[in-house]
Amino acid sequence: MSERSPDDIDRPEVSNTSRRCFLKRSAQLAGGIALAIQPLAPALAAEAKPAAPAPAPAAKKPEDRMKYLFVQREHCTGCRSCEFACSQFHEKGIVRPGVARIHVKRFHGVVDIPVICWHCEDSPCVKACPTNPKAIAKDKDTNIINYIDDKTCLGAKCNKCIEACPANFLRRHPETGKPMFCDLCDGDPHCVKACKAQAEDTAAAMRASKVGFGVNLAYRDVTPKEAAKALHTSLFYPNKDGERR
Amino acid sequence: MAEPKGGYFGKMLEVDLTAGKSTVRALDEAVLRDYIGGEGLGAYLLYKELPAKADPLSPANVFMMLTGPFNGTACPSARLNVSFKSPHTGIYGHSQVGGPIGNEIKWAGWDVVMLKGKSPKPVYIAIHNDKVEIRDASAVWGKDTYATEEFMKEDLKDDEYKTMVIGPAGEKQVYFSCIIVDRFRAAGRSGGGAVLGSKNVKGIAVKGTKAVPVVNVEAFNKAAKEAWDLGHNVEAWAGIKRWGTGGLMEFANYVSGSLVTKNYSTSWFADVNMIGGEEASRTFWKRHVSCPNCPIHCMKLGVVRTGGNYDGLIAEGPEYETGVMMGSNLGISDLDACMKGIETCDAMGLDTISTGNTIGFAMELMERGILTPADHDGMKLEWGNAETAIEMVNKIANKEGKAGALLSLGVKRMAEKIGKDSIKYAIHVKGQELAAHDPRGFKPRGVSYAMGQLGGCHHEGNSPEGQAIWAYLSSMVLCSFMAGVPWSKRNPGIVCDMLNPLTGWNTTPDEYWATAKRIITIMRSFNIREAGISRKDDVLPVRLRTEALPEGPKKGAVFTDEDTKKMQDDYYAYYGWDENGIPTEETLKKLKLDFTVADVRKKA
């Protein structure tokens, strides 16, 4: 057993101030007693990352509509509130993640990746649709991909759009067999509004306002599997055998 | 028999492992309304289905996975309850576990999954909506929990299955083996892993795509949103979000004087800063992880990255219980080693609380010369020696050697076997090892340990009324961090506001309290029928009643005989039980528990 010396790692001394704040906080945490809150000295300064931009406000005018989803994957806690909200919007208030358009998958047992539609410029799914007329279309102005007439869709007899989807996003409806597309809730996505991942975490100023959705282009065009690998590699550290598990 | 209109499917899946067959059984709405689900329904079904005094590790035992009405709905943070007769304590055993599997069972269309009999070979059960398969698991028999999860997902060629598995400890039927969900979450207490192991079931994988019926969608969603907001906006919960329960370790040491240290010999651990929440957040944690639809994300995932023996170890914790039982309770002040201990328990499928308590007990016996390394495979267990402790965890899981065989008995059976003075240092109630809160420093916790129907469990409620609330919440299978403190000011109103539009019932607060008392009383009735539990069993361990805390903020505190008497009298009076702790005939009849009268009053 190796003893850790203080030199091994940057381990700041616990100052009296932060100790006191911590105890206060612990008291609240244990007893639920509201005490005055002092902002805590950020203990995690070394790990700090720039705060994510606030999510777009609810769309009111056509030019304010959200046209893409971006996922700040490293902030995702895997709570699946987005799935709950998505299905509630699309299923008349009923929770049913089995038919949610967004879904959160866990990879390597330790990272959660929200799988979203990229709303690709060239929409490979629409291109791949073999029927004439096509069953699906993308609205150029709103970026919404949806059925023109879902009776045209061949459902379980066809797999073209699912194969063509570069995001591995499309899933079949468990009963109809037809793929489910992201319509961005008509420009005001409910998944984004539901996401409170690590939000309003007042105890840690550095982590405040982090939510799982942002506007960073770097989060697009990466398949869920690649994203999981990247996140797994960046968060976790290999052991002596070079494995991360 | 009425079919429920909302909140439940009214269906129970019964798997007969001996015959390899599954059947669908209907659940009556009246029973669901009286027992709600989870812990309450589990106690009722166990009382009805289990032959009296059956051996918990025989095929006769019944293992149930129970959901509640709120699983799979917009209500936040629904979990899973497992119920069975405990091989560890011989009384009612149940455990709650977070993670996605509770909701998944519900979405597959089942309120309850019940396993009976014993499979002739190692199997796992795959449930995809109505399709139930019993599949071969010989390939992973003997493997750790993580490998088992991976195997099941690969074997099913679908990684969207949610899993619940046992490790080598469960296979070997260690009395305090647990069930692991999603690699890091454990249905820890009471030995559910051993029950699954005795049935040759390595795991259960579930995938569901159905929707839970709701009677009045709009009203239910409004109440569920309020419940979600209550949990999200509790100011005090900022700490839980930030440090998980690990942050309570410093609090317990410096403020409440209830940090369990060195087998309950003290509640002051000078090195708590080295293993507590702040240290973990500086050197270990990497991610916050949530249960379904929960904004609290109390689970912390981390990786050891400080160099040394355990570099690169990915583990979950330290939580308050795991960190204390594998840390200060063993005198370990190295966070990395503490995490290795916790991770080993998870991988092997051992309950961290009971494992830590048992090893701490053995360390103390060795310090006092009651146990010697010579009759312990030459292993020298001593405070702070983490490597030996971790080796010991592996030995317990495999019941390896003299040492493993002895410690896998748990504290109560060990003390009975060793005899001498060991009983003085054995910290258990009704055979269940106590968790990481010292009731001398925080006396209300004594009610949970001594009076709770599970034995020494920290999660049963800290007052008679508190236990009623917990019984109801555990029957709805909700999380204490969401439904406990955050809802406390709106309880039971918030529960009725959600339950009524969901199910179409008209539950009132009065019915809430009656149901809660019914649930506590049927658990007690089961314990009386199986093990003759009475007042004499509702006491804390000798050490906590006779030895005062030697140091720390609550120096000199002890759980006195007056404390014990008052606690018992208040409790029995609140529930309408007689002075010996046996429910009276009048109480039983009032609670619609007529079918238990013969068993219960026979003992009185």
So where are chain A's domains?
11-41, 53-116+182-245, 119-181
Residue A144 in tokens: 């919404």
**Residue A103 and residue A171: Cα distance in Å, rounded?**
10
Q: Which residues of A touch B287 (CB under 8 A)?
A: 77, 110-111, 235
- Are B81 and B39 in contact, with CB atoms under 8 Å apart? yes
Which pLDDT belongs to residue A36?
A: 27
Which residues sit opposite B577 in a β-bridge?
A: B583
Q: Do B292 and A96 touch (CB under 8 A)?
A: no
Binned at pLDDT 50, 70 and 90, residue B563 comes out as: very high
Q: Record the pTM.
A: 0.89
**Residue B325 and residue B389: Cα distance in Å, rounded?**
12
Smallest CA–CA distance from A9 into chain B, residue: B306
Which pLDDT belongs to residue B404?
A: 95
Angle between helices B464-475 and B444-451 (to 10 degrees): 60
Q: Hey, which residues 167-196 in chain B have their CB within 8 Å of chain A?
A: 182-183
B307 vs A: CB within 8 A:
yes
Which residues sit opposite B287 in a β-bridge?
A: B301
Q: Do A81 and B293 touch (CB under 8 A)?
A: yes
Q: Which residues of A touch B286 (CB under 8 A)?
A: 235-236
Which of A100-104, B169-173, B227-231 shows the highest mean pLDDT? B169-173
Q: Do B241 and A237 touch (CB under 8 A)?
A: no
Q: Do A99 and B209 touch (CB under 8 A)?
A: yes
Which pLDDT belongs to residue A150?
A: 86
Between B288, B305, B311, which is nearest A240 by CB?
Answer: B311
Q: Running DSSP on this structure, what letter comes out for residue B259?
A: B
**Nearest Cα to B392, choosing from B143, B141, B148, B174?**
B174
Classified as helix, coil or strand, B78 is strand
**Phi, psi of A119, rounded to the nearest 5 degrees:** 50, 55
CB atoms within 10 A of CB B139: 13
Q: Which residues of B touch A25 (CB under 8 A)?
A: 238-239, 247
**B121-176, pLDDT tens digit by residue?**
999 999 999 999 999 999 999 999 999 999 999 999 998 999 999 999 999 999 99
**Residue B170 and residue B187: Cα distance in Å, rounded?**
12
Report percent pLDDT > 90 for chain B: 88
Which pLDDT belongs to residue A213?
A: 64
Helix (H) or strand (E) holding B469: helix B464-475
**Nearest Cα to B41, choosing from B60, B22, B23, B67?**
B67
B574 vs A: CB within 8 A:
no
- Are B176 and B355 in contact, with CB atoms under 8 Å apart? yes
Which pLDDT belongs to residue A5?
A: 40
Q: Is the dihedral of CA B90, B91, B95, B101 positive or negative?
A: positive
- Using DSSP bridges, classify how beta strands B11-16 and A136-138 pair: parallel, antiparallel or unpaired: unpaired
Q: Do B313 and A94 touch (CB under 8 A)?
A: no
Average pLDDT rounded to a whole number, residues B407-427: 94
Q: Which fold has domain A119-181?
A: Alpha-Beta Plaits (3.30.70)
Q: Is the dihedral of CA A80, A82, A83, A89 positive or negative?
A: positive
Smallest CA–CA distance from A43 into chain B, residue: B282
**B73-97, pLDDT tens digit by residue?**
999 988 999 999 999 999 999 999 9
Binned at pLDDT 50, 70 and 90, residue A186 comes out as: confident
Q: Do A84 and B292 touch (CB under 8 A)?
A: yes
Residue A36 in tokens: 């005055």
For tokens 């056509």, name the residue.
A62
Query: CA-based diameter of chain A, in Å?
Result: 73
- Are B43 and B526 in contact, with CB atoms under 8 Å apart? yes
Min CA distance, B312 vs chain A (Å)? 4
How many beta-carbon pairs under 8 angstroms link A with B? 189
Q: Do B334 and A197 touch (CB under 8 A)?
A: no
Q: Is the pLDDT of residue A94 over 70?
A: yes
A200 vs B: CB within 8 A:
yes
Q: Do B159 and A196 touch (CB under 8 A)?
A: no
Between B107, B159, B255, which is nearest A98 by CB?
Answer: B107
Average pLDDT, chain A: 72
Between B107, B232, B251, which is nearest A23 by CB?
Answer: B251
**Residue B12 and residue B308: Cα distance in Å, rounded?**
50
Q: Do A109 and B236 touch (CB under 8 A)?
A: no
Q: Do B235 and A28 touch (CB under 8 A)?
A: yes
Q: Where does B78-144 have alpha helices with state H?
A: 101-107
A174 vs B: CB within 8 A:
yes
B578 or A63: whose pLDDT is higher?
B578
B25 vs A: CB within 8 A:
no
B500 vs A: CB within 8 A:
no
**Residue B183 and residue A188: Cα distance in Å, rounded?**
35
Which pLDDT belongs to residue A216?
A: 53
- Are B392 and B360 in contact, with CB atoms under 8 Å apart? no
Q: Do A112 and B306 touch (CB under 8 A)?
A: no
B72 vs A: CB within 8 A:
yes
**Residue A9 and residue B368: Cα distance in Å, rounded?**
37
Lowest mean pLDDT among A139-148, B151-160, B355-364, B378-387: A139-148
B240 vs A: CB within 8 A:
yes
Between B100, B232, B386, which is nearest A1 by CB?
Answer: B386
**Residue B563 and residue A110: Cα distance in Å, rounded?**
45
Q: Is the pLDDT of residue A215 over 80?
A: no
Q: Running DSSP on this structure, what letter comes out for residue B443?
A: T
**Phi, psi of B573, rounded to the nearest 5 degrees:** -65, -40
Which pLDDT belongs to residue A214?
A: 58
- Are A85 and B303 in contact, with CB atoms under 8 Å apart? no
Q: Which residues of B touch A115 (CB under 8 A)?
A: none
Lowest mean pLDDT among A2-6, A168-172, B213-217, B397-401: A2-6
| Domains in chain B: ranges and CATH | 11-207 (3.60.9.10), 244-433 (1.10.569.10), 450-603 (1.10.599.10)
**Residue B406 and residue B413: Cα distance in Å, rounded?**
9
Smallest CA–CA distance from B279 into chain A, residue: A11
Between B74, B250, B306, which is nearest A22 by CB?
Answer: B250
B556 vs A: CB within 8 A:
no
**Residue B359 and residue B346: Cα distance in Å, rounded?**
16
